[in-house]
Amino acid sequence: MGGPPPIVTLLSDFGAGSGYPAQMKGAILGLLPEARLVDLSHDVPAFDVLAGALLLEACVPRFPARAVHCAVVDPGVGTARRPLCVRDPAGRLLVGPDNGLFTAFLGTGARAWTLAEGGPAPRPASATFHGRDLFAPVAAWLAGGGDPARLGPEVHDPLRLPWPEARWEGEELRGSVLLADPFGNLLTSVRAAQLPAGPYQVVAAGRPARPVRTFGEGAPGELLALVGSSERLEIAVREGSAARLLGAGRGAEVSIRPEAGGEGWPFPGPRRAC
């Protein structure tokens, strides 16, 4: 018996209702019929590279290391931007445009290669659909056991986004909203590991949000702050939309301060729900 089927994940801003994701799947299955295809999302906001990068950060680590991840949020398709394969420090492989989409996976020990003509990467038939004509076939080749070092020259300067991070300013941790999820929960740049051990107060877009551990601890309609499954602080409304309540989106300010006598402040410590 053979081993487990190869896994290829797909992420794009093409829209789940369009035919573009299906064309990518057809390109992969034509080369690797035994592949197991998994849609991460095809509803990344159009041209929003940061939103795509954050979705990859949340989803990719949940898959077996042998999975290959094909991601296409590519406003520069057909231009001089490089097509890229990244192998992150954990050995995961990602294929897509060199526009910052893979920022979360470019830590120490990561390697990257351009998809050069004359190697295993095909010459795209279309200048406007590299997802189907270039990235999908390369993802299939890699999932079938291809060596990424054969794709082309190594790239030592893959593009990194200015990754949003929360910062300490005196006795206040200041961050910002990165995106709103389909429920209207606001994902922030504040990571769980940065939160203090003791009780703290959260203000989001000028409104206080009560720190809780779960959505169910809030009253219906109450503005809450909690650490979500992505290990980032989120602003939420129980059975409602924080994005709609606050009228806020990317860039809205979030600040965290200690309550009187708060333990471990202002230095980050082990997270404890308040």
Name which of 158, 70, 57 is nearest 121 in CA terms. 70
Q: How far is CA 163 from CA 49, 51, 104, 180, 223, in A?
A: 11, 11, 8, 17, 26
Specify the pLDDT at position 193. 94
Same domain, residue pair 200 and 99: no
CATH number at residue 40: 3.40.50.10790
Q: Are residues 37 and 124 in the same domain?
A: yes
Q: Total domain count for the chain?
A: 2
**Whether residue 192 sits in one domain with residue 130:** no
pLDDT the model gives residue 260? 67
Sequence-separated (6 or more) residues with CB below 8 Å from residue 26: none
Average pLDDT per consecutive 10 residues, the chain (274 residues; last block may be shorter): 89 97 98 98 97 97 97 95 97 98 97 95 95 98 98 97 92 95 96 92 97 96 96 97 96 91 45 38
Beginning with the edge strand found earlier in the chain, give each strand of the sheet holding 68-72 in spatial order: 36-41, 7-12, 68-72, 93-97, 83-87, 111-114
Amino acid 34: pLDDT: 98
Give per-residue pLDDT as tens, 44-87. Answer: 999 999 999 999 999 999 999 999 999 999 999 989 999 999 99
In a domain? residue 266? no
Within this chain, do residues 15 and 64 fall inside the same structural domain, yes or no? Answer: yes
Q: Do 20 and 139 belong to one domain? A: yes
Same-domain pairing of 138 and 236: no
Q: Is residue 159 part of a domain?
A: no
| Residue 203 domain-assigned (yes or no) | yes
User: Is position 63 within any domain?
Assistant: yes
Same domain, 188 and 227: yes
Residue 219 forms part of a structural domain: yes
Quote the pLDDT of residue 123.
94
272 inside domain: no
156 within domain boundaries = no
Q: Same structural domain for residues 72 and 199?
A: no
Q: What local confidence, expressed as pLDDT, does residue 261 receive?
A: 56
Pull the structure tokens for residue 91: 């050995």
Nearest to 134 by CA among 176, 78, 76: 78
135 & 181 share domain? no
Residue 268 belongs to some domain of the structure: no
Answer yes or no: do 110 and 12 share one domain. Answer: yes
Angle at 112 between CA 190 and CA 178, to 5 degrees: 20
Answer yes or no: do 93 and 31 share one domain.
Answer: yes
Range of the domain at 50: 7-150
Residue 234, domain CATH: 2.40.30.90
How far, CA to CA in Å, does 41 sit from each of 70, 89, 202? 11, 24, 30
